[in-house]
Structure formats: structure tokens, C-alpha cells
Amino acid sequence: MKKNKTSKNWLNQRGRDIFFKKSKAYGYKSRSAFKLIEMNEKFKFLKNNTYLADLGSTPGGWCQVAAKKILKGKILGVDIKAMDQQKNVDFIIGDIENIETHNKIINFFERKIDVVLSDMASNTSGNKNLDTYRTGELCLNAMTLAQKILNKNGVFIAKLFMGSIFEEIKKKAKKSFKKVVIYKPTSSKKESKEVYIYCKDIL
């Protein structure tokens, strides 16, 4: 009974959510698409010839946004879950916590790339602190790959939740990149502790 009420509330909230409605209207596979649109408007990293890896890409909203801008570059989505095929987007199924997945991504591009995105989030466990920590670990793993694969002026953007691991992430970012900005898109729910870290220019 309680569960039904909770899921009804969730459905009602989602129905009222302007970005959820917008994603349906624009044909995006996720409301997250608008976060990437907003971040690109601010930081301008999606260009016609960009080489880009999108970590945690399923269901594919960010790849759709990237594919509208990148016509001559390369887009690779990576996720532990399958993603539907998209025109001009390649996909690898793999766990970013596994070094073999890093090697597959490096081998796919065969060159340094311009942008590494991570919208990865761990499965919700019911324990918010644990989820924050696990998503932070995914962000650190993505940053390790970014350090290996990005060109000197490369851009790394990743989701994280404000919490215990935040300082560790910021410290590693400041050691690895010249520019580090913490940014919360307006399309990210106000009540969520979600933010994105934007990093540019490898040190």
C-alpha cells in the first residue's frame, strides 16, 4: 500500500517535471540530455570534429546531444548496460572500474581525444552516503581514464554528489587539470546533491 503511494507520488512528480516533458517532446532518451546541452552552452566543448567518450551512456541522451554537434569526429558510448544503436555513435559494453574497459576505449580511438564525459551513477542502495561514495569512486575512475586518453587541452566532465568523497575528487582534479569548476545545471533537480565537475587542460 505504502509502496503504491510512493510510486504514484513519483509518477506525479515526474509528470510535472518540465525537463521530463521536454525530453519526451524533443525525442531525447533521457532528461539528462538537457544537462549536457546546458553545460555545452556554458563551456563550449562540442565541436564538429570532437573525439568524445561518454562513460555511463545508457539510455543514450548525452550521445544524442553530442551526435547533433559532432559530425566529423568520433563518439563512443560506454556502459555496463546495453544501449540502442544511434547513427554516428559507437558503443562498448563494459565496466569502467575494470582496466580492460579502459584499454578497449584507448584501443578504439587509437589517438588522444578531446572530451571525456561521465554521467555514471551507482545503483541506488537505499543508503544515500554509500551511493554518494560509490558514484564518487566512479568519477575518480573516469578521471583516471581521462588523464590517460585526453589531449593536452582536453575536457573532462563528470557527475558527482556532494558528500564525503567530494574533497578527494576536487584535490585529484586540481592536481591533474589547470582549470576546475564545480557546476550545477538548472536542469539538475534542486533537491538533489548532484553536481558536475568540469576540468580542462591536463597538467
Asked if 63 contacts 89 with a C-beta cutoff of 8 angstroms, the reply is: yes
Q: How far is the CB of 82 from ligand SAM (least distance, A)?
A: 10
Return d(Cα 47, Cα 182) in angstroms, integer.
22
Q: How many residues does the chain have?
A: 203
Cell of 56: 555511463
Which of 62, 156 has the CB closer to ligand SAM?
Answer: 62
Q: How far is the CB of 97 from ligand SAM (least distance, A)?
A: 5
Residues at the interface with ligand SAM (CB under 6 A): 29-30, 32-33, 56-62, 78-81, 95-97, 119-122, 138
Side-chain-side CA neighbours of 3 within 13 Å: the count stands at 0
Cα-based distances in Å from 29 to 11, 33, 126, 171: 17, 8, 25, 33
Distance from first CA to last CA of the chain, Å, rounded? 55
Cell of 1: 500500500
Return d(Cα 150, Cα 146) in angstroms, integer.
5
Asked if 195 contacts 182 with a C-beta cutoff of 8 angstroms, the reply is: yes
Q: How far is the CB of 66 from ligand SAM (least distance, A)?
A: 10
- Nearest-5° Cα angle at 64, 194 to 200: 55
Q: Which of 159, 172, 179, 193 is catalytic?
A: 159
Q: How far is the CB of 4 from ligand SAM (least distance, A)?
A: 25
Q: Is 184 a catalytic residue?
A: no
Which of 28, 177 has the CB closer to ligand SAM?
Answer: 28
Q: How far is the CB of 29 from ligand SAM (least distance, A)?
A: 5
Q: List residues with catalytic annotation.
A: 159
